[in-house]
């Protein structure tokens, strides 16, 4: 039986999270205590046992100069003993119906592993979002930061999310988040050790979401900056996260770090209800998902 979750299920949902994602309970509890809403969660029940779960987090998709309602499939999981019976396929089909009924025009997802793309293709998702990965040595980043000023800068989540919206303006197919969703993503990142590095150059802001991947490498999972703010932001990244190498996950169109970096798949999309592909396929150029809570 497929149904919406309820508040009393949070303990069981946390158990599914830790079992399927092989994580401690802290990330699950942070999500379930801070961003979980029963109306955004579908579960597959086998008797009294929850076998499978999927979350439909509210989002927006840019279509030209406007944005339309959408959702992001998050933390989809089936307990090991219930796999292979089509429960997740049934949940994804139900999620599409629920989304369409509440006005969502698209459903986005970032498969956790490359081999999971085929699973979502069976549920009628299509590869859509892309990023490019650029690797810089410490010396390279220091060169970019030349004359940049490193100073502790604090921005509100609303300020950062507003900047993100400005940077993505007109990028058809790209995903926008609410201030609440942005704040949750940043808070969830802290659970995993991520650090938000911000800078202010004159009256302009910039930020980078950084994750230490090993002792020598810092991954910048999202960066929003321009030619005026890049130097100060680079100086702050070096100060906040000193490393021998920096990898940047950027929108494909971003050229601040040069033209290097090959496009790579980074998420899928599915039209819902009466929505069609044409407005996106005709106008989208390497649409950007970003902040996907991966």
Strand ranges (DSSP E) for the chain?
2-4, 41-46, 49-63, 66-78, 106-109, 126-127, 130-137, 175-176, 195-201, 204-214, 217-224, 245-250, 263-265, 268-271
User: What's the CATH superfamily of 131-250?
Assistant: Gcn5-related N-acetyltransferase (GNAT) (3.40.630.30)
pLDDT 10s per residue in the chain (294 long)? 999 999 999 999 999 999 999 999 999 999 999 999 999 999 999 999 999 999 999 999 999 889 999 999 999 999 999 999 999 999 999 999 999 999 999 999 999 998 999 999 999 999 999 999 999 999 999 999 987 788 888 999 999 999 999 999 989 999 999 999 999 999 999 999 999 999 999 889 999 999 999 889 999 999 999 999 999 999 999 999 999 999 999 999 999 998 778 889 999 999 999 888 888 877 667 899 998 777
* CATH architecture entry for 2-129+266-283: 3-Layer(aba) Sandwich (3.40)
Q: Are both 2-129+266-283 and 131-250 of the same fold? A: yes
């Amino acid at each position: 039986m497929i149904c919406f979750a309820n508040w009393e299920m949070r303990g069981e949902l946390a158990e599914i999270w830790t079992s399927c994602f092989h994580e401690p309970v802290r990330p699950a509890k942070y999500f379930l205590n801070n961003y979980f809403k029963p109306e955004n969660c579908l579960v597959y029940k086998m008797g009294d046992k929850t076998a499978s779960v999927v979350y439909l987090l509210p989002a927006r998709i840019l279509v030209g100069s406007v944005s339309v309602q959408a959702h992001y499939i998050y933390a989809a999981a089936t307990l090991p003993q219930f796999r292979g019976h089509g429960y997740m396929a049934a949940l994804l089909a139900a999620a599409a119906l629920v989304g369409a009924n509440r006005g969502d025009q698209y459903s986005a997802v970032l498969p956790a592993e490359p081999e999971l793309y085929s699973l979502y293709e069976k549920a009628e998702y299509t590869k859509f979002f892309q990023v490019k990965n650029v690797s810089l040595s410490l010396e390279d980043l220091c060169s970019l930061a030349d004359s940049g000023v490193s100073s502790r800068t604090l921005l509100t989540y609303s300020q950062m999310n507003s900047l993100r919206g400005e940077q993505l303006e007109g990028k058809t197919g790209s995903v926008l988040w609410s201030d609440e969703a942005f704040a949750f993503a940043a808070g969830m990142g802290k659970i995993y050790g991520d650090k938000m590095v911000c800078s202010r150059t004159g009256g302009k802001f910039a930020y980078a979401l950084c994750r230490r991947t090993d002792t020598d490498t810092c991954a910048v999972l999202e960066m929003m900056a321009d030619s005026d703010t890049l130097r100060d932001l680079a100086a702050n990244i070096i100060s906040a996260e000193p490393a021998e190498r920096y990898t940047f996950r950027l929108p494909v169109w971003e050229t601040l770090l040069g033209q290097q970096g090959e496009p790579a798949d980074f998420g899928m999309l599915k039209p819902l209800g009466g929505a069609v592909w044409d407005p996106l396929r005709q106008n989208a150029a390497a649409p950007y998902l970003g902040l996907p809570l991966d």
